[in-house]
Structure 1
Amino acid sequence: MARRYDSRTTMFSPEGRLYQVEYAMEAISHSSSAIGILATDGILLAAKKKRVARLVDRSKGADKMYELDEHIACAAAGITSDTNILVDYLRDVCQQHRFTYGEEIPVEMLVQRICDMKQSYTQYGGLRPYGVSFLYAGWDRYFGYQLYMCDPSGNYGGWKATAIGANYQAAESIMKTEYKDDITLEEAKKLAVKIFSKSVESSSMVPSKLEFGIFKLDNQNKPSFKVMKDREVSVLLKECGIEQVEDRD
């Protein structure tokens, strides 16, 4: 009788694969997509929501983006319940570091902390990997603007532009040809709209199903994160020549 190599998180297959980790990544590939673009004057996080109920009060905040501290924000793709647990953990880490050392935690250090936690869930029995990937946008006095991506295995890396979630390969293909090192935030917004317009159905190109988060330094040279309002997204879509259909969900 063949052994089920996916019955334990810690069990390797004969090919050296951990199927539970691959299943977590597969769950993310079926969730709504998110992209991150590093610009010269800030970082753009953009996300698409698959389903938006008409009775949901969207003024209460974004669904796919989270502010972790004054200098770090993130966009998520995957299981929402897992996302909430990890976001709470990340916020605790930020405040613990601030309380202990009297300064903001460096961006990469925070990413390493969450990746250590994710990786630990792949090496002990009785646990399952977290089914969520994150894009981190941050700024610190050591390296300036930084964009990171991490997956359920605990692997992470710094990026100029990347995507997670559904159709991430198509999004990355467009980025490879359209991205340039001197791109600005305004150009990054239009690139994000182009990516979404080519990778999703036209009925999804409405403000209520798109989120754009802008991370940049304000007039006082302090990092700030702002999620664009629906009316601002509508203006952006018009500037890009996107015909907006009526949202009937």
Structure 2
Amino acid sequence: MSRRYDSRTTIFSPEGRLYQVEYAMEAIGNAGSAIGILSKDGVVLVGEKKVTSKLLQTSTSTEKMYKIDDHVACAVAGIMSDANILINTARVQAQRYTFSYQEPMPVEQLVQSLCDTKQGYTQFGGLRPFGVSFLFAGWDKNYGFQLYMSDPSGNYGGWKAAAIGANNQAAQSMLKQDYKDDISREEAVQLALKVLSKTMDSTSLTSEKLELAEVFLSSSGKVKYQVCTPDALSKMLVKYGVTQPAAEA
């Protein structure tokens, strides 16, 4: 029955479903997973980089983590070309707000603004939904540290811990079991790496397959976005017992 309704983004099926939006979510389910965890002193984002071919030149820039403004960053799962358009849109909106009001844009307002753009692509003919989900991590003076998840439909919600991408259901259930309200940033990193090690398709975790970023307040009280280097990430994996130390020749 769905064949009559799934070719258009703007037509509901008799069950009240928008099939194109569901197909976009299905595409995200095949992408490298990303996990976000809210701690008392920051937000941790960890993403899995899909290595499609050993002949592919590894990117020097981050593939899953993006800085939107000084106080907001995001992790991505889905079609990267779609994500680039939305990230650029979010960056422009954040700068416009700062230019107009001389202060950083509140995190939820930025997320809602971007989700309004995504929702428009589910409502008008001739367009397809963006095949990408985001985890937004940020800090503002109103609500402190925040973590939001948004999907192709334009829906978003605040989360304490969330997973998007491949095996997100399994990762979400593990996070539900192990997450604690008073978790520290270091414990959040440990939990994220543990969950990813058990839900990733590959058998072993290495720094080449992972990206880790944190949003936290520096000692001077400024919001800081920091991406973990491959060397530091390798040490973390060994420290938390996720991988074994390399044997000396």
TM-score per shorter chain, which class? Answer: over 0.9
Name whichever of 196-205 and 173-182 sits farther off.
Answer: 196-205
Task: State the match for 2:130 in structure 1.
Answer: 130
CA contact (8 A) 1:66 1:75 kept: yes
Post-superposition offset of 1:196:
1.2
Post-superposition offset of 1:64:
0.3
**Given the two structures, how large is their TM-score scaled by the length of structure 1?**
0.94
1:202-238 deviation per Cα after TM superposition (whole angstroms, max 9, x unaligned): 5440101101101101111011111100111101110
User: Which amino acid in structure 1 is aligned with residue 124 of structure 2?
Assistant: Y
Q: Percent identity?
A: 56
Aligned pair 1:71/2:71, yes or no?
A: yes
**In structure 2, how many angstroms separate the alpha carbons of the residues matched to 1:14 and 1:32?**
33
Task: State the match for 2:157 in structure 1.
Answer: 157
CA contact (8 A) 2:116 2:154 kept: yes
CA contact (8 A) 1:205 1:245 kept: no
**In structure 2, how many angstroms separate the alpha carbons of the residues matched to 1:44 and 1:230?**
16
Aligned pair 1:56/2:57, yes or no?
A: yes
User: Which amino acid in structure 2 is aligned with residue 215 of structure 1?
Assistant: V
Name whichever of 3-12 and 84-93 sits farther off.
Answer: 3-12
- Mapping of 1:69-108 within 5 angstroms? 69-108=69-108
SS in 2 for 1:149: strand
1:42-101 deviation per Cα after TM superposition (whole angstroms, max 9, x unaligned): 00000001116566354x321000000000000000000000000100000010111111
**Given the two structures, how large is their TM-score scaled by the length of structure 2?**
0.94
CA contact (8 A) 1:205 1:244 kept: no
**In structure 2, how many angstroms separate the alpha carbons of the residues matched to 1:32 and 1:157?**
21
**In structure 2, how many angstroms separate the alpha carbons of the residues matched to 1:24 and 1:245?**
39
Post-superposition offset of 1:241:
1.6
- Return 5+ residue gaps in structure 1 as ranges: none
Structure 1 runs of 4+ with >2 Å offset:
52-58, 201-204, 242-246
User: Which amino acid in structure 2 is aligned with residue 177 of structure 1?
Assistant: Q
User: Which amino acid in structure 1 is aligned with residue 122 of structure 2?
Assistant: T
CA contact (8 A) 2:36 2:45 kept: yes
- Return 5+ residue gaps in structure 2 as ranges: none
Post-superposition offset of 1:183:
0.4
SS in 2 for 1:77: strand
Aligned pair 1:115/2:115, yes or no?
A: yes
Post-superposition offset of 1:244:
5.3
CA contact (8 A) 2:6 2:19 kept: yes
Task: State the match for 2:212 in structure 1.
Answer: 212
**In structure 2, how many angstroms separate the alpha carbons of the residues matched to 1:141 and 1:54?**
46
